Structure 1
Amino acid sequence: MLFENQQIEIHELPSTEDLDFQKLDARYLTIKIINHLVFFVVVMLAVGFFLLLENDFSWTPTLMIFMSVWGLIYVGTLLYMRKEFLLRGYVLRKHDIVYRKGWLWTSIVVVPFNRIQHCELSQGPLEKSYKLAKLNIFTAGGQSSDLKLPGLKKEEAASIKEFLLNQINEHNYA
């Protein structure tokens, strides 16, 4: 047998930019906004409380400046979250699953089916109330999930999980 090691042309490789990514459920953006709102309000109240203690419960310019800057940061965060949410998506292909996220810092994760060990669905209280779930995909050699697909309708997440488990079984017994 003769060993061959053919050169591969870069322009012949498949591109992830040409894929038709499935969007996440719009209710996931609502959940993200609620989570951020709770965080921002708690921090604002805590800092405001300590500033009021320092200044004998009077409204000071420092407190007003802090609240204004904190409000602008929150609005900026909301705008960023919306733009980033619109770019998130996933694709199921014949041999792998692809997940894209990020706006300024983009991340594209490709997980081949033959590397998947198991999958699990998870839901927090807000996800349960909105009937959404997160699909966690674990690959060989890792303690934590290697791919997290948040913002899926619970039924859709269960279907994808079932599909992936079937792919795992076909690969293991083929």
Structure 2
Amino acid sequence: MSGTDHPNIQWRRVSMKYATLGVINFAISTLFFIAVAIGLSFIPGGGWWWLFGAIPALLFASQMIFVVIRTKAIGYALRQDDIVYRRGIWWSRMVAVPYGRLQLVDINRGPVERMLGLASLKMVTAAASTGLAIPGLPQAEADQLRDHLIRVAETRRAGL
């Protein structure tokens, strides 16, 4: 994301540790399929059975390269009346959630996210299609963003 995409928006990117989380997830899947390939290779007279594990392992391993690129494409921006979220390389998605529509702002952390000091910030609105989650935020940033969004949402709902 660069300033040329939307000149009036100052994008904030998620932590690059989020790429590490993605690599870990793909590595676990890859190791599973490698184990399957090794197990299938021991079948007597099995011939090419090991490919049923090797091909998915190669596919998952190749995805690890794109994790960093996808992580760099994730970002959010705080504007006057809403928060804008963007993700995606080939199929990009951009969502703007008006502050006054926020009903719940929640922080989620899985075990690996906790180890990496990351959190996902989830925003819920009355319309399910406009709710969103921003993954890969440093814990302190997620806490600050949650507090800011709650504060701003309360003033917008009150009409102040």
Query: Same fold by TM (over 0.5)?
Result: yes
Following superposition, the deviation at residue 60 of structure 1 comes to 4.1
Following superposition, the deviation at residue 59 of structure 1 comes to 7.7
Match of 1:17 in 2: 6
The answer to whether the aligner puts 1:113 opposite 2:102 as a matched pair is no
Residue 157 of structure 2 aligns with an amino acid whose one-letter code is N
Are the equivalent residues in 2 in contact too, given 1:136–1:145 (CA < 8 A)? no
Following superposition, the deviation at residue 73 of structure 1 comes to 1.6
Following superposition, the deviation at residue 42 of structure 1 comes to 1.6
Residue 17 of structure 1 aligns with an amino acid whose one-letter code is H
Match of 2:30 in 1: 40
Name the CA distance, whole Å, in 2 between partners of 1:150 and 1:169: 24
Name the CA distance, whole Å, in 2 between partners of 1:48 and 1:115: 52
Deviations along 1:67-126, one digit per CA (max 9) or x if unpaired, are 2x3443234212222221111111111111111111111111111111111100010001
Deviations along 1:113-158, one digit per CA (max 9) or x if unpaired, are 111111000100011111111000000143x981100100111001
The answer to whether the aligner puts 1:129 opposite 2:111 as a matched pair is no
- In structure 2, the residue corresponding to 1:17 is in which secondary structure? coil
Match among 37, 50, 56 for residue 63 of structure 1 = 50
How many percent of aligned residue pairs carry the same amino acid?
A: 25
Name the CA distance, whole Å, in 2 between partners of 1:139 and 1:154: 22
- In structure 2, the residue corresponding to 1:103 is in which secondary structure? coil
Residue 138 of structure 2 aligns with an amino acid whose one-letter code is K
Unaligned stretches of 5+ residues in structure 2? none
Higher mean alpha-carbon deviation, 82-91 vs 29-38, is at 82-91
The answer to whether the aligner puts 1:157 opposite 2:147 as a matched pair is no
Are the equivalent residues in 2 in contact too, given 1:31–1:127 (CA < 8 A)? yes
Are the equivalent residues in 2 in contact too, given 1:90–1:100 (CA < 8 A)? yes
Name the CA distance, whole Å, in 2 between partners of 1:75 and 1:44: 10
Match of 1:10 in 2: none
Name the CA distance, whole Å, in 2 between partners of 1:137 and 1:151: 15
TM-score normalised according to structure 2 size? 0.84
Name the CA distance, whole Å, in 2 between partners of 1:65 and 1:126: 29
Are the equivalent residues in 2 in contact too, given 1:133–1:150 (CA < 8 A)? yes
Unaligned stretches of 5+ residues in structure 1? 1-14
User: Cα RMSD (Å) of the superposition?
Assistant: 2.5
Name the CA distance, whole Å, in 2 between partners of 1:76 and 1:17: 31
